[in-house]
Amino acid sequence: MRKMRWVVILLCFLAIAVNYIDRANLAVAAPQIEKALGIGPAQMGLILSGFFWTYALMQIPFGWFVDRVGARIALPLAVGWWSLFTAATAGVSSVAGMFGCRLLLGVGEAGAYPSCAKLVSQWFKPSERALATSIFDSGSRVGSALSIPVVALIIGTLGWKAAFIITGALGAVWIAGWFIIYRSPAHGDMTGEHDVIPDSLAHSADTQVTWASLFRHRTLWGMMLGFFCLNFVIYFFITWFPSYLVQTRGFSLKSLGTLGMIPALMAIPGGWIGGLVSDALYRRGWSLTAARKTCMVGGMLMSSAITLSTLTSNVYWMLAFFGISYGSLAFAAASIWSLPADVAPTPRHVASIGGIQNFASNLAGIVITTFTGFMVALSKGSFTIPLVVAGGFCFLGAFSYLVIVGKIEPLPIEPQPRSETNAARSTI
């Protein structure tokens, strides 16, 4: 049972991988869907953005929900919901129907990251947290990488509708495995884990903390802005990157499923290295602030290499720049997703802060998908402006984590007496 925490992280990794396959399948199928529905890039940009509206808006309420009912129930509920509407996408044949399925997909997928952040806070100490985070977060890169060849293969053999049915079925398999394997760290069988589970788990303060008190701290605002910048760039890879390779670089469906995987494959070890470095610096005597910020700021600065892809006509140099950018973003993300547990005022607020951070970050998904679609349409197929703008957001994100985010420590929020607050309306 001492190894259970790594089994939990493996399950989180698989959930995030399925999460990203189910959100990225539309981007891979986009060229075929545009032909089938007779639509252009502006309309496809609208469809791609639909997911992010509800995904962003549901982050905060889902974070609150995870803190209340626990990740054991919240995570499989989320997986089941988004898998259902992934499969349902195959049954629609209009822009409105496609947009509606993406809206409902976003509702379910909103629960994945807050749940995983909560589980890491329960099972891992701060000195191990970034590595654990990097493992489950790498599921996003694995899912993104697998979505390209897997969905392309399914489309090439069975058509684009079958791609949504098959990828949607993956969630049912994961849910069955979760309920068979997972046990709560408070379960009687977990008594052997007491020496590796954080002490804070046993000292969950019975406090009421208002929303307003959370937002008084610049650290939370810095986390929101920095993560917005990171996701502005990451979501280009998840949404428009396949179309960019096909339309601008002339990739075939076959080359899309092989060479198109390179940036996501480079990002997988990038995230693991980021987690290892962050935790190693902390264990070697660096402050938690120095360890986390070194990785976040350095990763964001390196990710600006995405803009250099516009300066070369060589396919392999282009893929190298995209790979450096994606790998650097993953390097930073390991520390970024450790922050909710690092700064939460009590263990009961980890998922809520994770949801707040992720809410802001996923507004970037709405912006990048819509902005890129309109820029491509206005410039008659050029992706130069979106890629240059993405590089600028990399620098802004580095500034946010370096300057706006303060010391990495629990937010100094005074507990509010129960008589002074209405828990149903204003607490988390």
With a pLDDT cut of 70, the percent of the chain lying above it is 89
200 occurs within a structural domain: no
Instruction: Tell whether 191 is covered by a domain.
Output: no
The amino acid at residue 253 is L
Query: Could you tell me how many residues make up the chain?
Result: 428
- CA torsion, ordered 279, 234, 352, 60, to nearest 10 deg: 180
Domain contains 321: yes
In a domain, 323, yes or no: yes
Average pLDDT for runs of 10 along the chain of length 428: 82 93 84 83 80 86 87 93 92 87 92 90 89 90 82 86 91 93 62 42 50 82 95 86 85 78 88 94 93 96 94 92 95 92 83 87 83 85 90 96 93 59 42
- What letter would DSSP give residue 271? H
Q: Number of structural domains, the chain?
A: 1
As a whole number of angstroms, the distance between CA 342 and CA 338 comes to 6
Residue 380 domain boundaries? 4-183+205-426
Question: Helix, strand or coil for residue 373?
Answer: helix
- 12 within a domain of the structure (yes/no): yes
Mean residue pLDDT across the chain: 84
Residue 96 three-state SS: helix
Q: What is the CATH number of the domain that holds 255?
A: 1.20.1250.20
Determine, yes or no, domain membership for 196. Answer: no
pLDDT in tens, 281-303: 999 999 999 999 999 999 999 99
Contact 99, 43 (CB under 8 A): no
| Residue 208: per-residue pLDDT | 63
Give percent above pLDDT 90 in the chain. Answer: 39
Phi then psi for residue 319, to 5 deg, are -65, -35
> 35 Cβ partners below 8 Å, 6+ apart?
none
Burial of 102 (0-12, 13-18, 19+ CB in 10 A): buried
The pLDDT assigned to 188 comes to 42
In a domain, 103, yes or no: yes
Q: In this structure, are residues 105 and 47 in contact, taking their beta carbons and an 8 Å threshold?
A: no
Rounded CA-CA distance 377/309 in Å is 20
Q: How many C-beta atoms lie closer than 10 Å to residue 336's C-beta?
A: 28
User: Is residue 192 a part of any domain in this protein?
Assistant: no
* CA pair distance 44, 46, nearest whole angstrom: 5
**What is the DSSP annotation of 297-356?**
HHHHHHGGGGGGGGG---HHHHHHHHHHHHHHHHHHHHHHTTHHHHH-SSGGGHHHHHHH
pLDDT in tens, 179-238: 998 877 654 444 334 444 444 443 344 456 666 677 888 999 999 999 999 999 998 887
The per-residue pLDDT for range 119-159, each reduced to its tens digit, is 998 888 888 899 999 999 899 888 877 887 888 888 888 88
Q: Do 108 and 78 form a contact (C-beta atoms < 8 A)?
A: yes
